[in-house]
Structure 1
Amino acid sequence: MSDIQPGEDGQPVEGGARAGQVLRRRVFYIPGYDPFHPRRYRELYRKESAAQAATSSYSLHLTPKQSGGTYGWEVAAHIDGADVQTQIDVLVWSDIVKSSMDTGLVATYLQLLRTAWIYICSGALWRLTQLRKGPVIAALYPVVFLLGQLALAVLAAGMVVRLGQALVVPNLGWAGQMLALLAGLGVAGLLLRWFRKIDNRVFAYYLMHDYAYSAQFKGANPPELETRMTGFADAIAEALQDDIDEVLLVGHSSGVHLAVSVLADLIRAGRVPKLGPALSFLSLGQVVPMVSFLPQAQRLRADLAFLAASDALVWVDVTAPGDGCAFALCDPVAVSGVAPVGKRWPLVFSAAFTQSLSPARWKELRWRFFRLHFQYLCAFDRPRDYDYFQITAGPLTLGARYQGRPASQSRIEAPVNKYTSVTP
């Protein structure tokens, strides 16, 4: 069921609270696998909200967050004649990401081989290709690119060794052989280090570490991540006790599957008050199958099935075929093979980049694949019904905004996952 469900009086009900107008809201944002400080997201929000407000004729004003705790900011908005106050908090795990990326060159290549082995031998890679080719190509990209860099380094080393043998060995004998070999290895190491230094342009190491982090336990969450997710749940549970109208959790990219488990834990534990704020979940650019298709992802698959049938929240999933890094229009619950009887969520639809961006803007962004993966958090110069800033700072709850909105007809729901167990 994709429509928002009505209550007894015909009005939509979300998480035990009536849908409708929002005067005060709390937003929690879980980034994807990102090693950068959360101020990056504040600056992105500031810049893009100003652009969207100018296009859509509303006003947004950002100020520093007044309370302590997690990193965030406050937004005062005037949209559709209503004044809305929103506090946005970033649920940070960038320190965990940084730590996972802190590996040497040899360890990185061993990590690459192990990750490729897990996806290929488990059959996950083949089944992922049956959904969308784009994210699979994105997954193979770092493998091909890093192996290509290694091949160039080996080639350069070979050339140095041969040159050394021609110029030095005849005079120094065995010592010359060793000197030429060491020079070749040194050149190879320098070249590989240079490739890593410029990775902010090509993202090969970054993507490799991203996939390796999810695959290291074959889909199970690392212990340090589970601990951090418990903290995320505590922050959201505290907000649900506030005198506000909506608590909105936004997950982007790899942050989506973290958000799924955080919300499932909250609801199972009875920490969502029936008469409290509306609880909403917006998943953007999700890559859930990259994890849920792995053999030990029972925890995630169980959480997907639980959340899909819950009446404690509203869940809207937004992707776009123009985003080659996401599993666009793939229902993350259905394709994972765990759709429960009475499935309600998520409502899956497209941000329709080719329609919500002008031809000139689309031409500018079309081949900037990583930038497009963040377009959900940015302004559209021809906005349709998806507007990140109206969702996070506007006068309607997520459920009220998309009341009656049909799911995209071209969504993919085929249960192609090989692994559907929800218990270890």
Structure 2
Amino acid sequence: MSDTTVKKRCVYFLGGYEPIPPERQRERYIRELSRSGRVWSAKAEVGPLELAPERMVGTWQIAASGPNWSTGAAYKSLLWHDIVLSDFARPGWQRLFRAVVAFGDLILTGTAFRYFRVNWRYGLFFAYPVFLLLAFVALSIYVASFLPALGAPLPILTVPIAAILVFTLLMVWPGRFLMLDYMMDDWIFGHELIHRARPEFDRRLEGFAQELAETLRQGDQDEVVFAAHSLGCALKVAVVDRALQLVPDFGKNGERLNLLSTGSSILKIAFHPKGGWLRDAIRRVSANPAIFWIDYQTMADPISFYNVDMLKVLKLPDTGRPFIRRVHIRDMLEASTYRRFKANFFRLHRQLVMGNEKRYFYDYYMICCGPLRFETRVLKPETVVPRFAPDGSLIDPVPAEKTA
């Protein structure tokens, strides 16, 4: 090709609050990569999972190709599923107590109201588990209040006991069906992250930063992309900020670190008064000229801050990074698939790291494995689809003078 294409790429991925072990991550990656490959008439082979337990990194190699291009990628998933699983294992009473503390703190500090102010749908995402808990409490008290009329002895004891039993049953069902336990754990973790209350997790992020810094020092990649999704976007900023401190000379010779944010919930943490540590990291990363940062947003995802300029609402200096690009999930999927997913908010939330069913300028797996540079995809999105022939061949770009 007449323009520079990527032959060797390193992709880091930091996911959100999910208990997905690396083996399942790789299986999902292969499935979704296959779907994307069919769309672009590209071939891809995925190597075995390699684990680095000391740094909690799962790596697999990818060899992707079309008729006239080939790209190799090392995909490195930064793992913290074990921490999520340990949260899931906590006793129910402890989960409830910690959730009440977390929700109370987010409300009393005004953080929850900031969610509603900038994006009412994310505000509803916060309010959902709070409303369920309050509804279960009210229903439990209402049911138990009938006991005196039914002749129950010692109502001063039996009514509270009955209310507790009813509440416990509601937490088991329909609570689990409505994902209340998961939602409480998610917000508990967010609250703990805000207050830096888990030193073991800070050590995990330090290990991630050291891993990234090592790759940046080596400088043997055509392109390094650090992708993150959901709450992982907040963690990514902390990791990148620390990694750049470990490699202070990075960028002096023109190197770039490309950051990709999807379904971002950075503001979940940064809006809290105690989230100043993250706001400082955002300011430093955003101002670093060696960073190329894009935040893809979609209205179809209610568990993200759509149509929100993070720097503006945080009152940080406007550096132009991250770029904000809006994408349409309905243009990535077949109409029948989109209808099937439309009511599944969690599935729509994950779509920007899942495979496409149509050719579209945004395709996570072509970002990871395709021949076009990350900056080309971001800055010239209208050229992405026309660059690929039906058979998957990469077409030379039309010279600028011929397009005038």
Question: Do the two structures share a fold, i.e. TM-score over 0.5?
Answer: yes
C-alpha deviation, 1:246, in angstroms: 1.8
Aligned equivalent of 1:248: 225
Query: How far apart in 1 are the matches of 2:161 and 2:87?
Result: 31
Q: How does 1:86-235 map to 2 (within 5 A)?
A: 86-155=73-142, 165=151, 169=153, 184=162, 187-188=165-166, 191-192=169-170, 194-195=172-173, 199=176, 201-216=177-192, 218-220=194-196, 222-235=198-211
Query: Which segment is superposed worse, 186-195 or 252-261?
Result: 186-195
Residue in structure 1 matched with residue 398 of structure 2 by the alignment = none
Deviates more, 1:56-65 or 1:218-227: 218-227
- 1:53 paired residue number: 37
Alignment-mate amino acid for residue 249 of structure 1: F
Report which of the two has the higher share of helix: 2
Give the SS at the match of 1:115: helix
- The amino acid that maps onto 1:205 is D
Counterpart in 1 of 2:242?
265
Alpha-carbon shift at residue 91 of structure 1 (Å): 0.7
1:79 Cα offset (Å): 4.0
Displacement of 1:29: 0.9
C-alpha distance in 2 between matches for 1:75 and 1:127: 42
The aligned counterpart of 2:359 is 383
SS in 1 for 2:6: coil
Equivalent position to 2:379, from 403, 411, 415: 403
Where does structure 2 lack aligned partners over 5 or more consecutive residues? 383-404
TM-score, length-scaled by structure 1: 0.80
Change (3 A) 1:318 1:60: same
Do the aligned partners of 1:220 and 1:298 also contact (CA within 8 Å) in 2?
no
Q: CA-to-partner distance for each residue in 1:263-321, whole Å, 9 max, x for gaps? A: 11222333564458642111110011111110011111011111112111211111211
Q: For this pair of structures, how many residues does the alignment match?
A: 375
The answer as to whether partners of 1:237 and 1:271 remain within 8 angstroms in 2 is no
Tell me the CA shift for residue 46 of structure 1: 1.2
Gap change, CA 1:20 and 1:227, over 3 Å in 2: farther
* Aligned counterpart, 1:337: 315
Give 1:44's aligned residue.
28
The verdict on how the C-alpha distance between 1:102 and 1:67 changes in structure 2, with shifts beyond 3 A counting, is: closer
| Range 50-59 or range 281-290, more displaced | 50-59
Give, in angstroms, the shift of residue 352 of structure 1.
Answer: 1.1
Opposite residue 110 of structure 1, the aligned amino acid is F
Structure 1, unmatched stretches of 5+, are 1-18, 407-424
**Aligned-partner SS, 1:374:** helix
Which residue, out of 304, 320, 324, partners 1:326?
A: 304
Identity %: 25
Which one of the candidate residues 354, 369, 373 is aligned to 2:330? 354
Q: Distance in 1 between matches of 2:267 and 2:50?
A: 38
Q: Could you say what the CA RMSD is over the residues aligned between the two structures, in angstroms?
A: 2.8
Contact 1:30–1:92 (CA<8 Å) still a contact in 2? yes
TM superposition shift of 1:223: 2.1
SS in 2 for 1:71: strand
Contact 1:65–1:87 (8 Å) recurs in 2:
no
Deviations 1:12-43 (A, max 9, x none): xxxxxxx9422122211111111232333222
Q: Could you tell me which residue of structure 1 aligns to residue 387 of structure 2?
A: none
Structure 1 residues 20 and 268: alpha-carbon distance in aligned structure 2, compared to 1, 3 A threshold: farther
| TM-score normalised by length of structure 2 | 0.83
